[in-house]
Structure 1
Amino acid sequence: MALRKPVDADDHIEGNIHAAIELVEYGDYQCPHCQKAYYIVKRWQREFGDNLKLVFRNFPLENIHPLAKPAAIATEAAARQGKFWEMHDHLFENHDDFSRGKLVQFAEELGLNVTDFSKDLEDPELSAKVDADFYGGMRSGVNATPTFFVNGEKFEGSWDTGELRDFLQNLI
């Protein structure tokens, strides 16, 4: 299945924007599988370097991970201060508590303006952006996290056994 919403300026992109490989991940910050995938993707980023562009889109599974959406909104609030990826990484590396107090503490640790960050956590526009990622994922066939798309096509194999890594390697 193809990615219904192509990568654009609204997305969070890390790496070479002209890379041979565009890896889009739909993820949930409270998902233990996404946390595992985070470390694997970090390794791929080091391994593939300028050949890999990573895009992260929020797909909070609120029914089973009630704090995933507030965590996703926190990354969007951090993005307003130019620190999306720092918050993204911090959430996956400190996976135990996503209460509002903890999210504000993370913002402080990252050197964000905490007053603005706290206000942004309540901004309906950021909640709507998270929802847009989620519904875009649903239209693209995402029904679990993490889900990966490679160069616009949904990867149907296993991401945690080396199958996705080998697939990426063959694109270079």
Structure 2
Amino acid sequence: MPGHRNGELAARTAEAAPRQGRFKEMYTKLVSTQREWGEPQDWKQSVFRGYAKRLGLDMATFDTALSDRETARRVEDDQRDGLGPGVQGTPTFFVEGTRISTPGSCEAFKALIDDRLSG
């Protein structure tokens, strides 16, 4: 999201890891450590590279993927796809193309989906 200093870099990090078959692991690491890098305004590339090292990624391959124009394009496309319909933060949910208020629980979300499916 715009305004998050490291958001775009985190997204490219998540896009670079699958080239070595490690998307799930990197995504989990990014989500579980978001407080470390999500709000600070200093550049956290060394933090993300540290995650890649700990996951056992080949760093030359990771760095190439991280700086690759195709990786950046995918992130830009995803950002545009979210900002177009008015996404202003995460999580944001859409049901049948309509943005909905974030349900207060998994049960409330399931009930909303069940209601839409039965109607």
Q: Same fold (TM over 0.5)?
A: yes
Letter in structure 2 aligned against 1:81: Q
Q: 1:124 to 1:158 in 2, by over 3 A?
A: same
Corresponding residue for residue 78 of structure 1: 17
The SS at the match of 2:37 is coil
Structure 2 unaligned spans of 5+: 39-43
Bigger relative contact order (CA 8 A; separation at least 6): 1
Separation in 1, partners of 2:114, 2:53: 38
Corresponding residue for residue 68 of structure 1: 7
1:88 pairs with one of 8, 14, 27: 27
Say yes or no: does 1:131 pair with 2:76: yes
1:109 pairs with one of 36, 39, 54: 54
Contact in 1 for aligned 2:26/2:52 (Cα 8 Å) = yes
Structure 1 consecutive aligned stretches of length 4 or more whose deviation exceeds 6 Å: none
Matches within 5 A, 1:12-161: 61-63=1-3, 65-95=4-34, 96-97=36-37, 99-150=44-95, 152-159=96-103, 161=104
Q: 1:97 to 1:143 in 2, by over 3 A?
A: closer
- Residue 154 of structure 1 and its aligned partner are, at CA, apart by 3.5
- Computing the radius of gyration from Cα coordinates, the structure with the larger value is 2
Structure 1 unaligned spans of 5+: 1-60
- Between the two proteins, the alignment pairs up a number of residues equal to 109
Separation in 1, partners of 2:59, 2:45: 12
- Residue 155 of structure 1 and its aligned partner are, at CA, apart by 4.1
Q: TM-score, normalised by structure 1?
A: 0.56
Higher strand share: 1
Contact in 1 for aligned 2:93/2:102 (Cα 8 Å) = no
Higher helix share: 2
Cα offsets for 1:64-111 (capped at 9, x unmatched): x11011000000000211222211111011121371111111111112
- Residue 130 of structure 1 and its aligned partner are, at CA, apart by 0.4
Separation in 1, partners of 2:6, 2:99: 27
Aligned identity (percent) is: 30
Q: 1:88 to 1:154 in 2, by over 3 A?
A: farther
